[in-house]
Amino acid sequence: MSFRYRWIALALVGMLGMSTAAWSQPTLGIPQTPEPTRQDVAPRGTVAAPTKEPAGTLGKPKAAPPETAKPVVVDNTGGALKDCNTECCDGWGPAMPESIGLFGPFLKRCDGTGGVNVYGWLNGGYTYSNTGSGALAVQPRMNRFGNEFLVNQLAVVLEKPLKGGEFNWGFNATFYAGADPATIAPLGGFNNTNDHFGADFRQLYLSAHLPILTEGGMDVKAGRMGSVIGYESALAPYRPFYSNDYQWFYSQDGAFTGVLTNLHVSKQLDVINGVTFGANTFFAQRGTGACYLGQVNYWTSEAKKTLLSASTYIGNQALFTAGPGFVGDSDYMVELRVQHSWNKCLTQIIQSDLLWASGVPGIGTTEYYTLYSIWSYHATPKTDVNLRAEWARDVQGSRTGVRANYAEVTLGFDYHPTKSLRLRPEIRGDFSDRPAFGPMGDRQRQLTLAIDAIFSF
């Protein structure tokens, strides 16, 4: 990466951080997701993608309720002032499917703890694109068809989550069908031939908590699982927007088959290590050998207001390329994330993915760099406002298929009138310094207006 682009990236980080520090009032809000990311790519007009998985997913840190200096806001009952840190945002934000409790838990222990959870969701939406109808090149994902309604996800989860303390075991089986699994189907999975409807086991693993090495012990998972890399998710309830970002689709492997361990070194520090069979596999080997995945998550205080996270993913075909001509000897991905709760109303995430592939025939080393910031604000008990600003550079065109600098800005709302229902309208602008967008990939600007609904049970 040239010095010029390094300084551009550093300047963007600085601006993203300074912009929020200047705010004195609480602003924005994102559901703290526990899950997955991208999959087997259909031909470049059809696409493939990434994820974040639900409760029971190993390693996805959730933001804890913060404690800050106490700004005041006017309540909506007639002018009385409230303490934002005690009343204003407590319990605000959308409910996750596992908290609905419509079915279960079943098979509880004699003391009433544990048990098997059954839950799921239905997700679909409509996207308008000013670049035309049909499959959109490059972005957005997963609402990748312009001027069409999609049934994105019909999901059912059967889960026995782990708990700390003594030895215990668990499992997770997440099956879903719709347009999304048709796009991000794994190697070795179902043979999905319809680009508007497919099926997949997004997760299918066994897990165990081992009371060893430290007071917090170690969690182990084996099977197909959502990746710990990345903040956003392939599973609709576990991301703040209908559309997803460039990092998620082009530089993260959202789900894989392998073994993952999470050592709880302390209440503030987790260390994750794992081996996988390569990018998005269902009990099948992609590439020439095993890939290594590692992550360190450190909360700067026990209040868990600020998370520092660093990840790496290394191996042959650990991640996807724009085509077989860009497959090299090994992929090297580094992710850096800062996640901070400014108060109980506002959370910010700054995340950067840096990706190289060595030994690419006729090229040598390919490069892909990204940086984004997400702000999520609990505006009312039933409404969140979310904002995402992102920059990406595909130096050789090895990930998107086009050598270009990209940028996108998305403003979205998450309206949740009940625990089971969420409506998420958004407006998004994508920009490139070379033609890349639209059904023909011949546009440098693209505007999309979208809305989706999630019904959880």
Digit-coded pLDDT (tens) for 2-13 = 434 444 444 443
Quick one: pLDDT at residue 111?
60
Digit-coded pLDDT (tens) for 199-256 = 999 999 999 999 999 999 999 999 999 999 999 999 999 999 999 999 999 999 889 9
According to DSSP, the residues that pair with 218 across neighbouring strands are 210, 263
Quick one: pLDDT at residue 106?
77
- Over the Cα atoms of the chain, what is R_g? 21
Residue ranges of domains in the chain: 3-456
Quick one: pLDDT at residue 65?
38
What are the backbone angles phi and psi of residue 137, rounded to the nearest 5°? -75, 145
Digit-coded pLDDT (tens) for 27-50 = 333 333 344 333 344 433 333 333
Digit-coded pLDDT (tens) for 165-204 = 999 999 999 999 999 999 999 999 998 889 999 999 999 9
* pLDDT of residue 77 exceeding 60: no
* Global pTM value: 0.81
Determine if residue 138 is left, alpha or beta; phi over 0 gives left, psi from -120 to 50 gives alpha, anything else beta: left
**Burial (Cβ within 10 Å: 0-12, 13-18, ≥19) of residue 196:** middle
Digit-coded pLDDT (tens) for 282-317 = 999 999 999 999 999 999 999 999 999 999 999 999
Quick one: pLDDT at residue 206?
98
Quick one: pLDDT at residue 121?
98
Quick one: pLDDT at residue 388?
98
Quick one: pLDDT at residue 53?
55
Higher pLDDT, 72 or 325: 325
Percent of the chain with pLDDT over 70: 79
Assigned token pair, 431 = 């920009």
**DSSP structure class, residue 64:** P
Q: Which residue has the tokens 């989550």?
A: 161
* Run of H or E including 129: strand 116-129
* pLDDT of residue 116 exceeding 50: yes
Strands (E), 265-345: 269-276, 291-299, 306-315, 330-341
Domain at 3-456: CATH architecture? Beta Barrel (2.40)
* C-alpha dihedral sign at 128, 129, 135, 136: negative
Higher pLDDT, 11 or 337: 337
103-117, 198-212, 399-413: range with lowest mean pLDDT = 103-117
Per-residue pLDDT, averaged over 54-75, amounts to: 41
Q: Which residues contact 78 (CB under 8 A, 6 or more apart)?
A: none
* pLDDT of residue 257 exceeding 60: yes
Per the prediction, the chain carries an average pLDDT of: 85
Q: How far apart are CA 207 and CA 220, in angstroms?
A: 5
Dihedral of CA atoms 52, 55, 61, 64 in degrees, nearest 10, equals 130
Per-residue pLDDT, averaged over 401-425, amounts to: 97
* pLDDT of residue 78 exceeding 80: no
Quick one: pLDDT at residue 115?
85
Digit-coded pLDDT (tens) for 422-445 = 999 999 999 999 999 999 999 999
Per-residue pLDDT, averaged over 78-100, amounts to: 70
Categorize the per-residue pLDDT at 88 as very low, low, confident or very high, splitting at 50, 70 and 90. confident
